[in-house]
Structure 1
Amino acid sequence: MLLASVVFCSCPAAAHDTSVAEPDATEGSEIVVTGRAQRLYRNPVTTVGKSAESPLDIPQAVQVINKDLIADQGARDATDIYRNISGVSFFSYAGVTFRGFRQDQSFYDGMRGNPFIGFSVPQLFNVERVEVLKGPAGLFFGPGSPGGIINYVSKVPDAKPAMRLVATAGNYARRGISAEATGAVDKDGIVSYRLGGFHEAMTPYRRNTGNNTLIGDGGLAIRTNRGGTLTVQATVYDNDLRGNRLRGILTDDAGNFLTDIRWNANEPTDFLHLSSQAYQARYATAVGDAVNFDAGVRYFDAVETQHYHEPRGLVRGSGDLVAREFRDQIRDVDGLSFMANMTARVALLGMAHHLQAGVDWYDETNIFQSRILRAGVTPLSLRNPVYSHAGRDAVRAAQMPYTVRDTRTKRQGGYLQDRINLSDAVMLVGGVRYDRFEDGIVGDRFFTDDAVTFRTGAIVKPHPGVSLYASWSQSFEPQSAASQTIDTGGPFAPVTGDQYEGGVKTDLFGGRLQANLAAYRITRRNILQVDPGLPPINGQDQLRPIGEVTSKGFEIDLSTDITPQWVALVNYGYNDARITGSIAGQAVTNAVGDRFANAPRHKLGFWTRYQLAATGTAFALGGEHVSRRISLSGQTVKPYTILDASITQRLGVAELMLRVDNLFDRVYAASGFSAQSGHFPGTPRTVLAELRFGF
């Protein structure tokens, strides 16, 4: 594919119908035009490294999903875009498997503060692009999984007047409408705005379920000085999910569903309701020609309330009845983030230096209230489920007291990095970060620790559009608060990780071909395990930080214009994550034997779009293949391949998109969970129509 793309892209681009083209370059009196397909999904700049940089100047694998790809794929939430990211696959809810490791951390405009807490999935309505930094990201983002991080970049106000209206309809009673507008508040454009609203409702395929999502988003941008802008934004979310929180469908050990995938352990009166708000302000300015400074603050407050029936596996001696318990849970989370970054381009000792320095701070309160009714909950048949509308389990649970856990999290850190240009073709990168953290449960023990992490790398550019790189980077993650008690042997040092990565990135033929190859090896240490050689204390098993995991693999990402009207994206990831150090017979979290749950060896995704300039019609085809996995209980999760297709037609100021997901209506498991809860089924064939107006 790579070689074929190079051949195709080297052919001269012919001019075509200017009704769907935009000027790209001029040379004398000749006008050269390119279609919407050309460079459609490419991003020459990313801010995932806390400053605006070309991906070719970052010594780690980076992927960016921009608003064009989000719109063309009709993506609604984060799970809709995972297929575009090599090395990333779905685990559960908003969690993913990232280079073999489970993680669910998200950042917004470079700051902590995810308003989709617990079991809700990030929505994309107010997202401009999604940036993915693969491998340890501790230098810029602090504690986190070594697999990588996902950063959601918000849409911002713009002085250019524009409006977009979208009406949506589809099967499963889907209907929705959204609108967003930007423009200048004053005649000089010193103050600009953005306003947006989104509503969508549907009745999904699982029994008793219903989704109703509302998003309101607004912001102002104020030009405070030459080169300086203050942007303030506020977003509110209301996500009402009936018949949730969803678990999976029970399977046999070979991964076959034991009943129809519409089955649901939840009663019609069960629900999940998320209400959250996020407020942030960012100031960015240029100081002369060589220095840039930005600072941001973000606050969020989210409450997630759940009434749901948790499946507990088959009733002993039955092949049809599923035992259940009822859970009444409330998660009340709020957090405050702050960050400041500065970049400077200076010449020292005859070499160009790109210096970066920054600090960040985060304070979170997480109050979890839970009451679980285990006795007297009626089992549910797999083959002939009978549901009750009485909500009697909720009434009985309401007579029980809540168990309350109040967890506090504090993070402070600072970093310094220098990228030295030894020449136009050779760069060296080195950085160091210091972090201090405090975690604890109110009424129990608080613990404080710190860590120093490093990042080094080298970049060689034999051609301005080709970057060869190698890097070493570190990460760390504090142990969970529940594992730090004296009874378990705590406190313990953080989980640490480091990665060796090498690869090549290309940006050739004026951006018409981007092909990236990365190979990596990640080692994760200090994983807690039970030490059977030590007696329990107060009924608590003794833990020791002796577990080790090694993840190695490679990834290929290709984005190319095969012709001026035909664009293609292809990504492939191979991963082998194994336990390489442990106590015999003692488990590592998310592992079965020496392998990890929901960590596929092979994952392939693609998307291709061809447009007919004369008619304003575009055809697209996409797909995903995920190889065999295992669940947390060691059951097989079968491999699957699904295809999607769409047609988009321009209608003057409007555009109509018709999209079909899971084109052949395959029954498959998107991920495995446990023998008690089953596998998460993939969505059956789904039809979506969007009528878009742009002014």
Structure 2
Amino acid sequence: MSAKITLIAMQVCGVLFISNSAFGQATPQDASVNQGTSASQDAELEVLTVEGRALSLYQGNGAVFATRTNSDIDKIPQTVQIITQELIEDQAAYEISDLFRSMSGVSYLNYGIVKMRGFEQESQVFYDGIKGDPFRTFTIPQLFNIEQVQTLKGPSGAAYGAGEAGGAINYVTKKPTFEQENTAELRLGNKGFFSGSIESSGPVNEDSSQRYRVGVYSSTEDSYRNNVEEDNLILDLGYAWDFSNDSTLTVQYTHFDQLGERLRGVPIDENGNFLTDISWNSNEPDDEQDFQSDIFQVNLEHSFNDWLSSNSTVRYYDTEEVIKFHQARALVDNDDDGVYDEITRRYQDQTRIYQGIDLASYLVADLGEHTVVAGADYHFASEDEVFYYANGVNNGVSNLSLTNPSYDSDISAYNATLNRDRLTELDQIGVYIQDQWQATAKLNVLAGARLDYFSEDYIDNEDNADNTSYNDLGYSVRLGATYDLNAQIKPYTSFSTGLTPQTASDQEDSLDGELFDPEEAQQFEVGVRSYLLDNILNLNAAIYHIDRKNTISADEDGNTSAIGKVRSQGFEVDALMDITPRWVASINYTYTDVEADDISEDNTVYRILANNPYHQVGVWTRYEFPAISSSIAFGAEYVGERTDRTTSYDAPFTIQPYTIYDLSWQTAVQDWKLQLNIKNLFDKEFALAGFNEVSGAIVGERRRIYLQASYDF
């Protein structure tokens, strides 16, 4: 930890030095009023559209991710949600889990994995519209180098190929800027939280045709859980070069280094009550999770003429994850009094190496009433895993008391054996075409189709007999329309499909030797975007129905088939409003109902249904005091009752609902901004999600207090 603090101190000293150098001053921005033009339906007159504070602070008006074109969000016939930089900063969001409350249709599952519209969402994660997620199963995406978070709800196969049915998340990374921007931040908090960062971005030459970005972030923190400490180091570099009037090349490199612990939950009873204090942890003091990743990305944008342009990207990542931790295995009642008093444990030593490369290129043709996109992409991902474990007291792993844990295990004495040594390699090639047709002045139609070929090799280094390969071909479509009923009401509807290939290892379970078909999903969605009360209230409401078939399931005799069906339907509403000129609010509500048919009553169905609350509410509201350049904000989150992801044939356990509150205060003094955030204001004990009876419920953060000072120079 001392080395980490030294690094932060060096950053602060560097800031003081740089602030006296010849950097240009950042141009102040006034985000209170946005201006735009629109064509009157009766006359060709330009009018001024004045947006309230809520729309200018917390709403993004366009999402290239949804269509690969600079489409106004009102022209996208599918629910798109944009988390802006302002909201990220207001909520002091350091990692993606801090923002789940502001993302309708999203519920927490495990670490950085979420449920979207009822479906587990893991592989459908993008950076600047490209696959290649460096954060894996047990790490949480960090937000230091992120400018926006965008979600596209429902299957997105026609645009981005194979992926989950619930939707996709896209992280828009920070790029070199045309104006000089320099910021240094220092943050302090309870539980030993201490971080520092410095960011500098701007032109290299006089005409700004070459630009740079440098960002460094470092943090350390403890936890209310036993034996938990986390350190983060992020280095983010970028360089953009307009080497002609029509071409821009952007090169980026990011390094992540995270040292922490892989945390499981706290055991619970069938009603979701914790069986011990939530500070309890099955980990020993020396347990750790070491995550390191290097990401390189190169993007070339080129304009051939005034109607044809191209966009090409190469992204490569190399990630290593080393996990050494103690996992709870079974609850024990030593004195037979009906009360569990300790658990058995398993020690796991895992090394995972992930590598991936993505190449994507597409053309955009603006043909008047038609905007056509055509492109192709290639995705390669490999996972090399070696997994040793020592299970129970017979292999030297002591039991752990639930009420008086003694952390004194001698790991060197464990009898660990090899459990897995395997390599998985996935190749995916896709081609697609899309047309946005302005059919009338009010009606916009979107149609797209995509063909995907995917191939996966599974190599078991323990038993070559288990080696297998799998390949298949699939297609996805999207058809939708938006309609400007008037300036206030803009309905939309869409039908979209997607597919998820079965893994090569799953194909080994096929008893008849026939390959399982990919999972196939289709969504019907109807929604409306509205701008009411003279644009004081912006409301997006959507109703959806998703069917996913070909889920692998085993019958009572152990025969495996891909016949399972999952149905998810629900309602989402996102509201931005200006309650007064100084008081803004962002509110979302989600109703989700998931059912699984033709799936055996085992871990498969429980995992599908687990951690899907029927009701969720997220609130963030901010009031400004212009006379003193300050603001105060208040947040609330409600998540309804859920079930855990049990691994037994018994009925799943209940995960209790919770409501937590946050508070934020900001003030600006010349080039300084001071900010105080209190998360979980009333220090509530609650469960974010459930795993199973033994590993228990994943515990939500207790009260965390952060004080931040940032300086623009």
Q: CA deviation at 1:368?
A: 0.6
Checking the alignment, whether the CA contact within 8 Å between 1:559 and 1:569 is kept in structure 2 is yes
Could you say which residue in structure 2 is the equivalent of 1:235?
Answer: 254
Query: Corresponding residue for 2:633?
Result: 620
Aligned to 1:69: 87
In structure 2, the residue matched to 1:9 is none
1:103 equivalent to 2:121? Answer yes
Q: Aligned partner of 1:616: which letter?
A: S
Change (3 A) 1:402 1:101: closer
The Cα shift of 1:34 comes to: 8.7
1:258 corresponds to? 275
- Confirm or deny: 8 A CA contact 1:164 1:693 kept in the other structure: yes
Q: 2:703 corresponds to which residue?
A: 685
CA contact under 8 A between 2:396 and 2:413: conserved in structure 1? no
Task: Note the 1:528-567 alignment, pairs <5 A.
Answer: 528-532=552-556, 541-567=558-584
Q: Is the 8 A contact 1:572 1:605 kept in 2?
A: yes
Query: How far off is 1:364 after superposition?
Result: 1.2
Q: Does the C-alpha gap of structure 1 residues 108 and 34 become closer, same or farther in structure 2, counting only changes over 3 Å?
A: closer
Residues 35-75 of structure 1: CA distance to partner in whole angstroms, max 9, x if unpaired?
A: 96662111111121222211111111000001111011000
Q: Is residue 582 of structure 1 aligned with residue 598 of structure 2?
A: yes
Q: Residues 487, 513 of structure 1: CA spacing in aligned structure 2 closer, same or farther, 3 A cutoff?
A: closer
**Identity across matched positions, percent:** 35
SS at match of 1:462: coil
1:497-516 pair list within 5 angstroms: 497-507=521-531, 513-516=537-540
Of the structure 1 ranges 650-659 and 281-290, higher mean CA displacement relative to structure 2 is found in: 281-290
Letter of the 2:423 counterpart: D
Shift of 1:418: 1.1
1:393 aligns with: 411
Matched letter for residue 239 of structure 2: L
Which of 663, 668, 680 lines up with 2:681 in the alignment? 663
CA offsets 1:453-511 (integer angstroms, 9 cap, x no match): 11111211112453211111101101122211165445211011100000001356886
Residue of 489, 496, 503 corresponding to 1:480: 503
Using the alignment, how far apart are the partners of 1:71 and 1:291 within structure 2? 37
The TM-score, its normalising length taken from structure 2, stands at: 0.88
SS of equivalent residue, structure 2 residue 628: coil
Residue 44 of structure 2 aligns with which residue?
none
Determine the C-alpha separation between the residues in 1 that align with 2:407 and 2:508: 42
Q: 1:73, 1:32 → 2: CA distance?
A: 28
* Shift of residue 284, structure 1, vs aligned partner: 1.2
Q: Is the aligned partner of 1:640 residue 2:661?
A: no
In 1, the alpha carbon distance for the partners of 2:413 and 2:254 equals 34
- The code of the aligned residue for 2:664 comes to S
Are residues 1:246 and 2:263 paired? yes
Mapped contact 1:38–1:564 kept (Cα < 8 A): no
User: Which consecutive residues of structure 1, in runs of 5 or more, have no partner in the other structure?
Assistant: 1-17, 534-540
Give 3-state SS (helix, strand or coil) of 2:206's partner: coil
Q: Is the 8 A contact 2:678 2:706 kept in 1?
A: yes
Determine the structure 1 residue equivalent to 2:9: none
Cα distance in 2, alignment partners of residues 21 and 357 from structure 1: 36
Report whether the alignment pairs 1:199 with 2:218. yes
Q: Secondary structure at the match of 2:505?
A: helix
Question: Contact between 1:573 and 1:604, CA under 8 Å: does it hold in 2?
Answer: yes
1:375-454 aligned at under 5 Å gives the runs: 375-388=395-408, 392-394=410-412, 396=414, 400-401=417-418, 403-442=420-459, 443=464, 444-454=467-477
Q: Judging changes above 3 Å, is the alpha-carbon distance between structure 1 residues 170 and 73 closer, same or farther for their aligned structure 2 residues?
A: same
What does 1:152-167 align with in structure 2 at a 5 Å threshold? Answer: 152-167=171-186
**Number of the residue aligned with 2:25:** none
- Residue pairs, 1:135-150, within 5 angstroms: 135-150=154-169
Q: CA offsets, 1:135-163, max 9 Å, x none? A: 00111111111100100010000121110
Cα–Cα, structure 1 residues 101 and 109, in superposed 2: closer, same or farther, change >3 Å? same
Displacement of 1:543: 1.0
1:298 counterpart SS class: strand
Task: Determine the structure 2 residue equivalent to 1:343.
Answer: 364
How big is each residue's C-alpha offset from its partner over 1:563-601, in whole Å with a ceiling of 9 and x where there is no partner?
A: 22221100001010001x315x54362527xx7100000
2:31–2:57 contact (8 Å) kept in structure 1: no
Aligned counterpart for 1:517 among listed residues 541, 545, 550:
541
AA aligned opposite 1:342: L
Stretch of structure 1 that moved more, 193-202 or 49-58: 49-58
For 2:144 and 2:532, locate their aligned partners in 1 and report how far apart those are by CA, in whole Å.
32
Kept in 2, the 8 Å contact 1:250–1:313? The answer is: no
Distance in 1 separating the partners of 2:328 and 2:181: 49
Contact 1:170-1:688 within 8 A present in 2 as well: yes
> What letter is aligned with 2:346?
E
With 560-569 and 407-416 compared, the bigger mean Cα shift is at: 560-569
> Does the CA-based 8 Å contact 2:545-2:568 persist in structure 1?
yes
In structure 2, C-alpha distance between the alignment counterparts of 1:487 and 1:19, rounded to whole Å: 60
One-letter amino acid matched to 1:619: I
Structure 1 residue 530, shift from structure 2 partner: 1.1
For structure 2, the 5+ residue unaligned runs are: 1-27, 38-47, 647-651
The one-letter code matched in structure 1 to 2:65 is V
| 1:491 and 2:508 aligned | no
Match in the other structure for 2:16 = none
